[in-house]
């Protein structure tokens, strides 16, 4: 019988642990649509307390909670600004336009992060020719930006600048607990920097689904209407909210183990002839590396790795990403690096 694959594609491939499944099976449930699911209510209250926000609403996915935030902040004809590699601008199927009538204007930052100099270049006056900018969307940690985190002081100054210019600030925190563990910043301190925050539970925290959007009572009231409008209102959602509660208790601190595995994998990859990786950029659980031109294309390498039992994603002709998560251990990561070494050494094009 062949061994199970070593899956480095994403932390979304994680499966609930037996203990998480038990928590889900034993969850107390009710009708969340009318606010009567005690487990959902407990999760939302806990997230409000952690991030220092007035209100929270449980959602099916990070994309849904991001789009609930867009709808809550904007009206049709407005625009949001996001960094050019952002998830909301690249991987949410054009949802701001389709669901809210909001255009997305992307601007180049640094490793997926924006600072005041980027925003100053993007600022436009109110003019009949322009869509009015209503929302700035940030991502922490970045995904395509390399898994990089925002320094807290950068989040603070960017948030302050945006608000001074009349913009609301949304944070796509799909892996925000990874950023908190990596930087030591508290959720409450990050919460002060933005108007809304989307937190995803189905990535590093290992839940099968679920996200929470946090913000003011007024904003989250509008977001609840968006959830209904988008067809995402839930009934006995405590079954999946229980997984998130379990993850908050047991899977946050262990994210540091994923970061250690990422550094281990990156260090091994750095020794492979024909591959380059910047070790200083490996902050969280994501590792990005590039093939030399004579070792590509990346798509072919991914296929050959898959034939050897290692799965990962190519993101361009030479760029690849590996993601560490709770379903991996040190031995698997080292084995994956050795298989990568062997396959790259074949020098196929």
pLDDT at 289: 97
CB 16 within 8 A of CB 207: yes
pLDDT at 349: 47
What pTM was estimated for this model as a whole?
0.95
The β-bridge relationship of strands 133-139 and 79-83 is parallel
pLDDT at 296: 74
Q: What is the DSSP letter of 131?
A: P
32 assigned to some structural domain: yes
**Domain range enclosing 153:** 18-250
Residues 202 and 321 in one domain: no
121 assigned to some structural domain: yes
How far does Cα 235 stand from its chain's mean position?
A: 25
Query: Based on the structure, what is the number of domains in the chain?
Result: 2
Residues 245 and 263 in one domain: no
pLDDT at 4: 79
CB 20 within 8 A of CB 206: yes
Residues 29 and 125 in one domain: yes
How far does Cα 196 stand from its chain's mean position?
A: 15
Tens of pLDDT, residue by residue over 109-133, are: 999 999 999 999 999 988 999 999 9
Residues 322 and 199 in one domain: no
Residues 289 and 238 in one domain: no
Tens of pLDDT, residue by residue over 183-206, are: 999 999 999 999 999 999 999 999
pLDDT at 345: 86
Residues 266 and 156 in one domain: no
Q: 202: domain CATH number?
A: 3.40.640.10
pLDDT at 144: 93
9 assigned to some structural domain: no
Instruction: Give the residue among 151, 205, 141 at the shortest CA–CA distance from 176.
Output: 141
Residues 266 and 308 in one domain: yes
271 assigned to some structural domain: yes
Please identify every stretch of the chain with a pLDDT value under 50, giving residue numbers as ranges.
1, 349
Instruction: Give the residue among 262, 297, 293 at the shortest CA–CA distance from 276.
Output: 293
């Amino acid at each position: 019988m062949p061994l199970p694959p070593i899956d480095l594609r994403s932390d979304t491939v994680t499966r609930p642990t037996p203990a998480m499944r038990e928590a889900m099976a034993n969850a107390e449930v009710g009708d969340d649509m009318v606010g009567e699911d005690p487990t959902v209510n407990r999760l939302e209250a806990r997230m409000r307390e952690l991030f220092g926000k007035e209100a929270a609403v449980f959602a099916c996915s990070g994309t849904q909670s991001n789009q609930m935030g867009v709808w809550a902040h904007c009206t049709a004809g407005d625009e949001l600004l996001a960094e050019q590699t952002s998830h909301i601008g690249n991987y949410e199927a054009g949802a701001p336009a389709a669901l809210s009538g909001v255009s997305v204007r992307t601007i180049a930052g640094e490793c997926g992060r924006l600072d005041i100099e980027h925003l100053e270049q993007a600022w436009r006056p109110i003019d009949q020719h322009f869509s009015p900018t209503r929302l700035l969307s940030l991502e922490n940690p970045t995904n395509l930006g390399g898994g990089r985190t925002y320094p807290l002081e950068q989040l603070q100054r960017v948030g302050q600048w945006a608000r001074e210019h009349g913009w609301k600030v949304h944070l796509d925190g799909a892996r925000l607990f990874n950023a908190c563990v990596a930087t030591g910043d508290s959720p409450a301190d990050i919460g002060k920097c933005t108007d809304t925050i989307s937190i995803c539970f189905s990535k590093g925290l290992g839940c099968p689904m679920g996200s929470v959007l946090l913000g003011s009572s007024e904003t989250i009231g509008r977001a609840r209407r968006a959830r209904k409008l988008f067809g995402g209102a839930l009934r006995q959602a405590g079954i999946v909210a229980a997984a998130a509660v379990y993850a908050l208790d047991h899977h946050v601190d262990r994210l540091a183990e994923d970061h250690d595995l990422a550094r281990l994998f990156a260090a091994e990859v750095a020794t492979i002839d024909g591959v380059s990786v910047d070790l200083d950029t490996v902050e969280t659980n994501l590792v990005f590396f590039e093939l030399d031109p004579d070792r590509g294309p990346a798509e072919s390498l991914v296929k050959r790795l898959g034939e050897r039992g290692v799965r990962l994603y190519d993101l361009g002709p030479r760029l690849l990403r590996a993601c560490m998560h709770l379903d991996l251990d040190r031995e698997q990561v080292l084995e994956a690096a050795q298989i990568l070494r062997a396959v790259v050494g074949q020098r196929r094009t």
